[in-house]
């Protein structure tokens, strides 16, 4: 909770600080509101808690994980011709159910084989991103920057009176990039991502989409997003791939 508050306060401080910088005014709309929604589907979701002693199981293969509605909200401020900041709120929760195919030791809970099980996987994301426009052309835009991400995650398994929940809140630094190619003044192809790999784990959030400009201030976006990554250590083993069917509405002002 403190980490999330720190990110929120830092975001406000950076925005206020940069608003005082003179001579950096951006031409055209300075703000963009981005609302994305759709359906999230679980790919693989392999788990063991603790990572060294827990039973390895798949929340998607050993149990049935239902598709889930999701949404994301992003606000972007272009404070100079090639510089922008954005804040993102991206909640996600998937629910699973089924019968334990084998005995599962999960975070202190012993679930016997054959027991009915319900489970949940929460992966909320809060991000502050900076991006610099390396290329701004008539046909092609390329941007590169970095993202400060707060991960608010939780994995839970329950079987009757037996159950456990493992939570984790942590900071994740990421690189971000954007490539947008305009097929015409009104239609473009977009690749947008936050990603980074390290010995402690990896994380990727990648969107490929078609963007259609409906008016000078309103755009519609549709495409495919995936979130993949995880970590392997003594505390937790978890690697996940989540697929998203995505539709977004963008408003410039």
Task: Give the pLDDT confidence of 11-33 residue by residue, as tens digits.
Answer: 444 443 444 343 455 667 899 99
CATH number at residue 115: 2.40.160
d(CA 198, CA 204): 12
d(CA 202, CA 166): 19
Alpha carbon 90 to its chain's center: 6
189, part of any domain: no
Task: Please compute the mean of the pLDDT values over residues 72-81 and round it to a whole number.
Answer: 97
The per-residue pLDDT for range 176-217, each reduced to its tens digit, is 999 999 999 999 999 999 999 988 889 999 999 999 999 999
d(CA 157, CA 84): 41
88, part of any domain: yes
HSE (side-chain half, CA atoms, 13 Å) at 73? 2
pLDDT at 193: 98
Strands (E), the chain: 31-48, 57-58, 64-65, 68-77, 83-90, 93-99, 104-106, 109-111, 116-136, 140-159, 162-182, 187-198, 201-213, 218-232, 237-252
d(CA 86, CA 132): 12
d(CA 247, CA 210): 10
Using an 8 Å Cβ cutoff, are 221 and 153 in contact?
A: no
Burial grade of 112 (CB within 10 A; 0-12, 13-18, 19 or more) = exposed
Please give the model's pTM, rounded to 2 decimal places.
Answer: 0.88
pLDDT at 28: 75
Q: Give the SS3 label for residue 95.
A: strand
Look at the chain and report how many structural domains it folds into. 1
The per-residue pLDDT for range 96-105, each reduced to its tens digit, is 999 999 999 9
185, part of any domain: no
93, part of any domain: yes
Using an 8 Å Cβ cutoff, are 47 and 58 in contact?
A: yes
216, part of any domain: no
Task: Please compute the mean of the pLDDT values over residues 127-138 and round it to a whole number.
Answer: 97
161, part of any domain: yes
Task: Please compute the mean of the pLDDT values over residues 50-72 and round it to a whole number.
Answer: 97
Task: Please compute the mean of the pLDDT values over residues 113-139 and round it to a whole number.
Answer: 98
209, part of any domain: no
User: Which of the four pLDDT bands, split at 50, 70 and 90, describes residue 7?
Assistant: very low
User: Which of the four pLDDT bands, split at 50, 70 and 90, describes residue 225?
Assistant: very high
11, part of any domain: yes
| Structural domain harbouring 232 | 2-17+38-132+145-175+223-252
Q: In the predicted model, is pLDDT for residue 159 greater than 60?
A: yes
- Angle at CA 48, nearest 5°, toward 43 and 50? 150
Which secondary structure element, helix H or strand E, spans residue 47, and what is its range?
strand 31-48
- Residue 42's nearest CA partner among 155, 171, 178, 189 is 155
Task: Please compute the mean of the pLDDT values over residues 43-56 and round it to a whole number.
Answer: 97
């Amino acid at each position: 909770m403190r980490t999330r508050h720190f990110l929120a306060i830092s975001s406000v401080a950076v925005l206020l600080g940069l608003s005082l910088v003179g001579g950096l005014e951006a031409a055209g709309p300075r703000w963009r509101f981005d609302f994305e929604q759709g359906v999230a589907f679980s790919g693989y979701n392999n788990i063991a808690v603790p990572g060294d002693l827990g039973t390895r199981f798949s929340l998607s293969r050993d149990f049935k994980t239902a598709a889930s509605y999701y949404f994301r909200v992003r606000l972007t401020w272009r404070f100079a011709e090639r510089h922008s900041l954005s804040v993102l709120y991206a909640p996600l929760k998937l629910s699973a159910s089924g019968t334990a195919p084998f005995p599962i030791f999960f975070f202190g809970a012993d679930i016997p084989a054959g027991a009915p099980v319900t489970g949940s996987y929460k992966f909320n994301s809060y991000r502050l991103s900076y991006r610099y426009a390396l290329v701004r052309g008539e046909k092609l835009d390329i941007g590169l920057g970095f993202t400060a991400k707060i991960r608010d995650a939780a994995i839970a398994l329950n079987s009757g009176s037996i159950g456990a929940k493992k939570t984790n809140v942590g900071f994740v630094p990421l690189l971000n990039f954007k490539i947008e190619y305009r097929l015409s003044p009104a239609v473009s192809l977009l690749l947008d991502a936050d990603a980074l790999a390290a010995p402690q784990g990896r994380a990727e959030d990648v969107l490929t989409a078609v963007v259609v400009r409906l008016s000078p201030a309103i755009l519609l976006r549709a495409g495919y997003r995936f979130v993949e990554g995880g970590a392997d250590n003594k505390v937790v083993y978890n690697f996940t791939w989540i697929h998203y069917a995505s539709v977004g509405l963008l408003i410039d002002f």
